[in-house]
A and B are shown apart, each in its own frame.
Chain A
Amino acid sequence: MTTEFHPTSSPRAAGRDVATARVPGQTLPDAGAFLIPGRVGAWRGLTPRRYVWMLSLVLMFALALTQSSVRADQPADIGQLEKELMNPCENCGGKPLAGSYCGGASAAKEELREMADAGMSHDQIINAFVAKYGEWILAVPERSGFNLFAWILPVVGMVLGGGGLALFLKRTNEARRLSAPVPAPAGPGPTSPESGTGAASGAKDMAELRRRLECEVRED
């Protein structure tokens, strides 16, 4: 998916944005019960073992979302600045300054170095570049005004998609319950047993799974 992780620099508010998108899909008990009425029973047998599974899962996701931090102004770090600023060269632009080696990029890097040597802070240098070239010199624009749409829309898309999916799951679940007596015709092998939550049904599931797998891989 990506080549660059920016542990220190970036995602000031990112974690929060993504968090809102993710919640509906999370395996939180309440969310599950909310999405699928009638399945609340599935959560009753919350044994310690299952609890550990869930906890480790939620922890992993939470860990992934702790990446946001608000940074105070810092002394200039050339490497960092080169990632936050785009190459101003008109011919070969479209890439961050870091890793651009054309004439325009070299000049901009030189400029950057001089500013840093003169004792300007990170934010002062950023502001100087924006004043000189315009907003597009920032690899990521200011998170305000119209620019916010860049972040909002993907999140809205995910939330709407998640909502749509939840609605679909709910509807199809209701439809299934209404038409429950009709046996489902398709799918290779017999339908799997109606499973409850007990350990016995778990063993039954496994046996069924094993039997079906044997059918699948056997020579005809």
Chain B
Amino acid sequence: MRGNMIQLGYYALWGALGSAAFALVFSVLAFRGGREDLQTSARHATWAAAFFTTVACAGIVYAFLMGDYQMEYVWGNSDRDMPTFYKLGALWGGQSGSLLFWGWLLSMYTALVGLRHRKDHVRLMAPTTTTLMSVLVFFLALVLFGTNPFRRADFIPPDGVGLNPLLQHPAMVIHPPCLYLGMIGFTVPFAFAVGALVSGRLDNDWLKKARLWAVVAWLFLGAGNILGGWWAYLELGWGGYWAWDPVENASFMPWLAGTAYIHSAMIQERKQMLKIWNMVLILSTFVLTVMGTFITRSGLISSVHSFAQSNIGYYFAGFLLASIVVSLGLIIWRRNELKSQQHLDSYLSRESAFLFGNLILLGGAFAVLWGTLFPMFTEAIKGNRISLGPPFFNQFMIPVGLGILFLMGVGPLIPWRRASWSGLSKVFTVPAGLLLAAVAVLLIFGVTHAYALVTFGFCAFVTGTIFTEFKQGIQARMRSQGENPIAAFFRLFTKGQRRYGGYIVHLGVVIIFIGFAGAAFTQESETTLGRGETWHFRNYALTYRGLAVEQTPSVERISADVLLAKNDHNVAVMKPRKDWYQKNQQLASEVAIHATLGADLYLILASFDEKADRASLKLYWNPLVSWYWIGGLVMVLGGILVLLPLRRRQLT
């Protein structure tokens, strides 16, 4: 019985490949004949593919729950002692499972696209479906022929090897699906772009249809990145949340390009220009998502995340090349139809502010890409290994981040088409005043770190811009609708949902930058304490009160008991820990964090001596880290505000 269920999953994988291929062929035929009926068949086939991939994933999950260790994938990524929660997450814990998971999410996206756009024009939807199905066929073929997760050993091992203990963390169960939903989600706007190119329906139609999907993907990708940082902060124990690791970079680059696309698309929607540019942007975003998977999954660049090395790298390289060649070919083929119908009126306008934003975002993405790939190039060309660590990326990305932050303050207030200097100096009175005030106050309080000063100043500037926008919107409603300010504030979100939701996203980014600026003031220290000894650090006092050992069948946990006092008041008991995973022969650190809005106290048990009852502690004082998480939450909230169907509800 058990074997049958799992076998069913394997057959479902073939079913999914068959359905996807069917949908691909039928959507091509539907396009050629302009036939609604064939497109309907193709759409039904995409739903069948979604059903089959679901069954396939269920088969794997079932195998994990049943502990079918004869299946190599289950054997390699779980063991008996693993909690059920992590067994579910083990589906995407290794290479072949995560590729299948990728295929499943893509098929679900496609099914939803079919559902939402079932009444839309066949000429646009057919090639869009073809594109989505081509990507799905590639991934399913990769799973079946490259890294089959259903492969069985010819003997039955008693137990699995387990999942890397570092990955056994709640954030690690939520963060990859979130990231994948973002990465894969960008396939949908890309598919719409290809659909528009193939069909020649190059008006705003495709852009509007793609918009929802692009924002959804962008939101998941952003949230996934922040969740990944949260995991690193809690689990990796080096006191930070972002290390410019190749895998982090892989998911950050498409986010940058996607941000550029979402903003640039607004110009096209409004002004019928930048059509070629937007095509290039969405193509770049898609290529960067596939590249991200490639980097993560092929073992091209070794890092803690890239657990696997296999030959799928060549398939990915081929697929990447094909995507680029075909899309660029289409863009060149349609270049005359993509010519702008309008011109930019002035370099002093919102359009050009957006364009400079594009430039900085893409420049940043390029710097990250180059920095990620450069060590590999060096090794290939010169034969010697080099490393490019965080200092390299910070050099480029701090100015890039500041540039973007600044433009976030400029873009919303500068008028479309053309601005005048005198108009601008009026509009920007509040933001610029706040900027100068913030910098002045910080200087008075003795903050002299240049980057931090600029960051805080720009944060004040952008906040001023957002405030001005809300103030003007509220005043406009008060005048035209006679509403009170509070009602007007809430009604802004139903009336100008994208605009004001977008400002909430911007506000989230401002809060995130405050968190970044805090990193400039991080302090670290370490010491070794005997029982009862107290360590004074800033206005904190840490008293070591002994070791505690907890033994479970699979893990031995050794924690130090540290009493934390702040300004002579006891505030917390911190228990930094070392976990020894017997089966993996791996030692993992569990940090203890005392988080406040002002600063985190981040404590690591570096080493210990049970006989002498001494513990070596490493401590980071991380100011404003909480703001990073809060900013992420605000950003997601703003994104949800943009997406919620507020207006429709109002009509009914």
Contacts and interface: CB of A to CB of B under 8 A. Distances in A.
Tell me if chain B binds chain A: yes
Interface in A156-212: 157-158, 161-162, 165, 168-169, 172-173, 175-176, 179, 184-188, 191-192, 194-199, 201-203, 205-206, 208-210
A46 B14 CA distance: 71
A79 B423 contact: no
B583 interface: no
Interface in A125-149: 134-141, 146-147, 149
A64 B366 CA distance: 21
A202 B425 CA distance: 9
A217 interface: yes
B606 A101 contact: yes
Nearest to A133: B385
A67 interface: yes
A99 B237 contact: yes
A214 B391 contact: no
A184 B449 CA distance: 48
A102 B587 contact: yes
A11 B397 CA distance: 12
Contacts of A95: 238, 243, 245, 304, 389
B595 interface: no
Contacts of B401: 1-2
A213 B427 CA distance: 14
Nearest to A14: B395
A134 B363 contact: no
A12 B272 CA distance: 45
Contacts of B263: none
A17 B371 CA distance: 15
Number of chain A interface residues as a range: 35 or more
A52 B367 CA distance: 33
Nearest to B256: A1
Contact of B385 (A18, A135, A197): A135
Contacts of B492: 217
Interface stretch (B17-25, B39-47, B54-62, B345-353): B345-353
B378 A147 contact: yes
Nearest to B525: A79
Interface string B569-612: 00000000000000000010100000000000000101100000
Contacts of A214: 476, 479-480
| Contact-residue size bin, chain B (C-beta under 8 Å from the other chain) | 35 or more
Chain B at the A interface: mostly helix, strand, loop or mixed?
A: helix
B476 A213 contact: yes
A202 B420 contact: yes
Contact of B271 (A10, A140, A187, A198): A187
A196 B454 CA distance: 32
Nearest to B604: A101
A210 B237 CA distance: 52
Contact of A53 (B271, B363, B415, B425): B425
A32 interface: yes
B476 A210 contact: yes
A33 to B, nearest CB: 11
B387 interface: yes
Contacts of B371: 150, 154
Interface in A13-36: 14, 17-18, 21-22, 25, 32, 35-36
Interface in B358-393: 359, 362-364, 366-367, 370-371, 374-375, 378, 381-382, 384-393
B519 A7 contact: no
Nearest to B400: A1
Nearest to B389: A139
A154 B420 contact: no
B608 to A, nearest CB: 12
Given A56-B436, A192-B418, A17 B394 contact: no
A21 B356 CA distance: 13
A196 B420 contact: yes
B418 A5 contact: no
B408 to A, nearest CB: 13
Contacts of A136: 375, 384-387
Contacts, number: 288
A158 to B, nearest CB: 4
B316 interface: no
Contacts of A165: 355-356, 359
A176 B449 contact: no
B344 A169 contact: yes
A32 to B, nearest CB: 7
Interface string B479-491: 1110000000001
A192 to B, nearest CB: 5
Given A205-B419, A210-B476, A219-B481, A2 B242 contact: yes
Contacts of A53: 425, 428, 432
Contacts of B522: 4
B165 interface: no
A86 interface: yes
B519 A3 contact: yes
Given A4-B391, A100-B238, A150-B392, A173 B520 contact: no
A60 interface: yes
Contacts of A4: 240, 390-391, 394, 519, 522
Contact of A201 (B393, B423, B473, B499): B423
B385 A49 contact: no
B432 A161 contact: no
A175 B273 CA distance: 13
B398 interface: yes
B426 A1 contact: no
Nearest to A68: B395
B249 to A, nearest CB: 12
B454 A64 contact: yes
B387 A7 contact: no
Interface in A47-80: 49-50, 53, 56, 60, 63-67, 79
Contact of A94 (B245, B347, B384): B245
Contacts of A208: 415
Interface string B540-574: 00000000000000000000000000000000000
A216 interface: yes
Nearest to A109: B606
Interface string B224-248: 0000000000001111111101100
Given A1-B516, A5-B520, A150-B371, A11 B386 contact: no
A205 B420 contact: yes
Given A1-B400, A5-B452, A195 B419 contact: yes
B344 A202 contact: no
A17 B395 CA distance: 9
A210 B472 contact: yes
Given A79-B524, A173-B343, A195-B418, A99 B239 contact: yes
Contacts of B340: 172
B169 interface: no
Interface of A: 1-7, 9-11, 14, 17-18, 21-22, 25, 32, 35-36, 39, 42, 45, 49-50, 53, 56, 60, 63-67, 79, 83-84, 86, 92-96, 98-102, 106, 134-141, 146-147, 149-151, 153-154, 157-158, 161-162, 165, 168-169, 172-173, 175-176, 179, 184-188, 191-192, 194-199, 201-203, 205-206, 208-210, 213-214, 216-219
* 6 tightest A-B CB contacts, nearest first: A99-B238, A139-B389, A202-B422, A1-B401, A205-B423, A154-B367
23 contacts: A2-B394, A5-B520, A60-B454, A83-B391, A86-B387, A95-B238, A99-B239, A135-B384, A139-B387, A140-B388, A141-B388, A150-B371, A154-B371, A154-B396, A158-B363, A161-B362, A173-B344, A185-B341, A186-B272, A186-B342, A187-B270, A195-B423, A197-B420
